[in-house]
Amino acid sequence: MAYLFTSESVSEGHPDKVADQISDALLDHFLAFDPESKVACETLVTTGQVVLAGEVKSDTYLDVQTIARDVVNKIGYTKGAYKFSGDSCGVISLIHEQSQDINQGVDREDKEEQGAGDQGMMFGYATKETENFMPLALEISHTILIELAKLRRAEDEIPYLRPDSKSQVTIEYSDDNIPQKIVSIVLSTQHDEFDEDEAMLAKIKKDILEILIPKVKAQLPEYVQKLFTNDIVYHINPTGKFVIGGPHGDTGLTGRKIIVDTYGGKGAHGGGAFSGKDPSKVDRSAAYASRHIAKNLVAAGVADEILVQVSYAIGVVEPTSILVNTHGTSHVSLTDGEIAKIVAKLFDMRPAAIEKRLKLRNPIYVETAAYGHMGRIPETVTKIFESPYNGVIEREVELFTWEKLDYVDKVKEAFKL
């Protein structure tokens, strides 16, 4: 019998994502000026206020207020009508030094023997469902909001848009897990005040269906475009008016959108958030490494769908476990346990090895903090960082290294594919 699966996404202007982007912007600046920084930054945003907290061990000093304001302005909160603006919001910093009790379990004289920054389990997932090996419902949800943000910034086609928005996509699957059609799309977008509510709703629905959705479809491959039928049920701003939004409408906190950040409910999640954490925190680095493993295994043809779990003990170098689950889609004559043993030999999952392999001690994180950490396109960019205390620094960095298919040949050789 056919079944339904749903994933959601939120925009860069969603209050929780505003908090994530500020936390990762602080992390990037610390790593730009001191690559060995240990950082765990949390952010709270609410009406007219940004509160920064967390623990840092670094040789650099930052103007955290300016960094936070720049992020808020870049997102698009630049007007007094939003009740939250980068130029006028208060910024309170409660950041303090990292506990030496934690640090002594992480740092080692031999970098290769660096211990895990915390205990816990992390997951990576990949599926042949899309070209970038991500779940389809999440991929469409992200694309909707990325295109909506482009329209907001263009200011000519849908000029009344404000930064806060959410999307949700439900897909019908056949019994053999093949997407059949999109059943419903939910989109709530913040907007300017209108003179008349009924006319406002009609205008928003018309613009979404006639301007946004065609642009979304154009970004997707043909086999996905065919899922957009005339039977899709659209829920566009289903509560009606959405003028009050962003941090004025809801308080935002770092790390409250971890399913949006990963696989939209497919696979699994260990519970640890990513943003604001340097790569010694395996919550982040091992989750990236697990995605890297799963994606390369699926791309190499080991299975059509793979979930990888890895776990750690704080201060301990080697992971306490590595699990591989192929969900019955394996193309090799090995058990999942046997596949996991080969994976453990092929991929060095010690924290320092992960940092080195994926080049994680670089300022590459603010780009991850909206529209998902996984399924993104690897690229090399030049970034410029300014500090009143450290001057200006220019860094060429690789983004989304965990999305590279650089282990496919090694996987094929190891599994004799």
Domain map of the chain by residue range? 3-10+136-245, 16-99, 120-128+260-414
**pLDDT tens-digit map of 94-150:** 998 865 545 555 665 556 678 787 889 999 999 999 999 999 999 999 999 999 999
- Of 215, 247, 187, which is closest to residue 44 (Cα–Cα)? 247
CA angle (121 as vertex; 294, 371 as ends), nearest 5: 60
CA angle (398 as vertex; 371, 163 as ends), nearest 5: 25
- Which tokens hold the place of 193? 């005040």
Between CA 314 and CA 316 the distance in angstroms is 6
pLDDT reported for residue 367: 98
User: At 296, which amino acid appears?
Assistant: N
pLDDT reported for residue 236: 94
pLDDT reported for residue 98: 67
Was 196 annotated as part of a binding site? no
pLDDT reported for residue 387: 87
How long is the chain?
417
Burial class of residue 116, CB neighbours in 10 A (0-12, 13-18, 19+) = buried
Between CA 239 and CA 133 the distance in angstroms is 34
pLDDT reported for residue 245: 85
**pLDDT tens-digit map of 51-73:** 999 999 999 999 999 999 999 99
List, in sequence order, every beta strand (DSSP E) within 140-285. 161-173, 179-191, 233-236, 252-253
Strand partners, 311: 121, 321
Identify the segments of the chain with pLDDT beneath 70: 98-112
Was 309 annotated as part of a binding site? no
Between CA 8 and CA 28 the distance in angstroms is 27
Rounded to 5 degrees, what are φ and ψ at 136?
-70, -45
Was 341 annotated as part of a binding site? no
pLDDT reported for residue 114: 81
Domain 16-99: assigned CATH number: 3.30.300.10
DSSP notation for 53-66: EEEEE-S----HHH
Beta strand pairing call for 321-325 and 379-387: unpaired
Phi-psi region of 76 (alpha: psi -120 to 50; beta: other; left: phi over 0): left
Q: Taking every pair of C-alpha atoms in the chain, what is the biggest distance, in angstroms? A: 67
Same fold, 16-99 and 120-128+260-414: yes
Was 256 annotated as part of a binding site? yes
Was 14 annotated as part of a binding site? yes
Was 42 annotated as part of a binding site? yes
Considering the domain delimited by 120-128+260-414, tell me its CATH architecture.
Answer: 2-Layer Sandwich (3.30)
Kind and range of the H or E run holding 294: helix 282-300
Inter-CA distances, 9 with 142, 146, 157, 214, 324, Å:
6, 10, 23, 19, 27
Was 74 annotated as part of a binding site? no
User: At 287, which amino acid appears?
Assistant: A
Between CA 157 and CA 147 the distance in angstroms is 12
Strand partners, 253: 44
pLDDT reported for residue 116: 83
> Among the residues of 76-156, which ranges form H helices?
100-106, 136-154
Kind and range of the H or E run holding 408: helix 408-414
pLDDT reported for residue 109: 59
DSSP summary character for residue 237: S
Was 228 annotated as part of a binding site? no
pLDDT reported for residue 171: 98
Burial class of residue 391, CB neighbours in 10 A (0-12, 13-18, 19+) = exposed
Q: Alpha-carbon Rg of the chain, whole angstroms?
A: 22
The class of domain 3-10+136-245 in CATH terms is alpha beta
Between CA 378 and CA 279 the distance in angstroms is 18
pTM of the model: 0.95
- Of 105, 205, 196, which is closest to residue 158 (Cα–Cα)? 205
pLDDT reported for residue 103: 52
Was 273 annotated as part of a binding site? yes
Was 191 annotated as part of a binding site? no
- Of 132, 404, 136, which is closest to residue 265 (Cα–Cα)? 136
Burial per residue of 265-304, b for 16 or more beta-carbon CB atoms within 10 angstroms, e otherwise: bbbbbbebbbbbbbbbbbbbbbbbbbbbbbbbbbbbebbb
CA dihedral 111, 117, 123, 125 (to 10 degrees): -40
